[in-house]
Structure 1
Amino acid sequence: MSVPLLAIVAWSGTGKTTLLQQVIPLLKARGIRSGLIKHTHHQMDIDTPGKDSYLLRKAGADQVIVASTQRWALMCETPDQTLNLAELVARMDSFALDLVLVEGFKDEPVPKIALWRRGVKGEFADLLDEYVVALASDENLTVDRPLLDINQPVKVADFIEKWLRKGQ
């Protein structure tokens, strides 16, 4: 059995990361072990220039694992490759997780909670597709799926816990 995925999707500036920062500890307190995959449109580098791992990766290593007794990280060079969510999920330890939360990847065919806030560019209807299982907003909108209060992370965590228990 593979680990369930649940994406949190929204227009930039809506508060995906902020909500996840609040929801993840609530899920953890309930015994739900979650992983996270975050999509970014920005150039990013988690390695530190000048450190040995950085120098060796820049020397041409296509994959580098940095490990300590507290954590480890795998960095993979992916020039000119399209991000593939299934491949990213496959790299996670599904035996250690109950759920993989995905921030972004709004066009992927996976279950999603869409977020929409008054005043943020874009319409909420443009976020809704057949994979959206709920909408979290600061407005009282009329939608054909559960409507959650984006400012109530406990309610969002409640929904996720029930969604997981139902078997999605």
Structure 2
Amino acid sequence: MNLYGVTGWKNTGKTGLMERLVAEMVARGLTVSTVKHAHHDTEIDHPGRDSYRHRVAGAREVVLSSPRRWAVMHELRDRPEPMLAELLTRLSPVDLVLVEGYKRANHPKVEAYRAETGRDLLARENGTIRAVAADIAIDDLAQPVFHLDDTSAIADFILRDLGLRA
């Protein structure tokens, strides 16, 4: 499975970059899935909905199906969060899986960076970051630096790095 990540500190443009990369890769004819990591108690279901009531009642998994989409919600019930590798086994085969977050996981990544956050670049310490997409020029990195909005060039880099068609 071809896997590439977008990582970075909070409010650096990760989600926007992910959204643009998915659209770019799909426009190039690739099938793409995504994995998004959240660091908080993310609620994808809402109180009062039937599926929410099923989960609260104690169901470990709830499948929600409609004519347009289906989803599986899995409650951990105080068990540890699964590793990324385990989650990937649950995806249907695609050409590329883009992962948002998982800073410390071992897959290759592009770091989204905005100077206004005041944080240092993760790429200086994290060897899995292969390129940086930034809103400023950065001249002192070993990794290539792209403008944060240059989606086409970032997509070309990812595909070349994975050995896929660019």
CA contact (8 A) 1:23 1:153 kept: yes
Q: Secondary structure at the match of 1:115?
A: strand
Take 2:20 and 2:65, find their aligned partners in 1: how far apart are those partners? Answer: 28
Q: Flag the 1:126–1:112 CA change in 2: closer, same or farther, 3 A.
A: closer
CA contact (8 A) 2:111 2:123 kept: no
2:26 — aligned with what?
Answer: 28
Count of aligned pairs = 163
- Mark the runs of 5 or more structure 2 residues left unpaired by the alignment: none
Take 1:57 and 1:153, find their aligned partners in 2: how far apart are those partners? Answer: 39
AA at the equivalent of 1:15: G
Q: Secondary structure at the match of 2:62?
A: strand
C-alpha displacement of 1:161: 2.6
TM-score (norm 1): 0.88
Take 1:162 and 1:102, find their aligned partners in 2: how far apart are those partners? Answer: 17
C-alpha displacement of 1:139: 2.2
CA contact (8 A) 1:138 1:149 kept: yes
Q: Flag the 1:54–1:125 CA change in 2: closer, same or farther, 3 A.
A: closer
TM-score (norm 2): 0.89
Take 1:55 and 1:155, find their aligned partners in 2: how far apart are those partners? Answer: 45
1:164 — aligned with what?
Answer: 162
Q: Flag the 1:126–1:132 CA change in 2: closer, same or farther, 3 A.
A: closer
RMSD (Å), alpha carbons? 1.8
CA contact (8 A) 2:45 2:52 kept: yes
AA at the equivalent of 2:47: P
Q: Flag the 1:107–1:134 CA change in 2: closer, same or farther, 3 A.
A: same
> Is residue 2:111 matched to residue 1:114?
yes
State how 1:8-157 maps to structure 2 within 5 Å: 8-80=6-78, 81-94=80-93, 97-125=94-122, 128-141=125-138, 142-157=140-155
State the percentage of identical aligned residues: 36
Take 2:42 and 2:58, find their aligned partners in 1: how far apart are those partners? Answer: 18
Deviations 1:23-59 (A, max 9, x none): 2111100011111111112222212322222111111
Deviations 1:135-163 (A, max 9, x none): 11122222112221112122212222323
Deviations 1:71-103 (A, max 9, x none): 110100013313411111111112xx1111111
C-alpha displacement of 1:66: 0.7
AA at the equivalent of 1:147: V
Q: Secondary structure at the match of 2:115?
A: coil
CA contact (8 A) 1:16 1:103 kept: yes
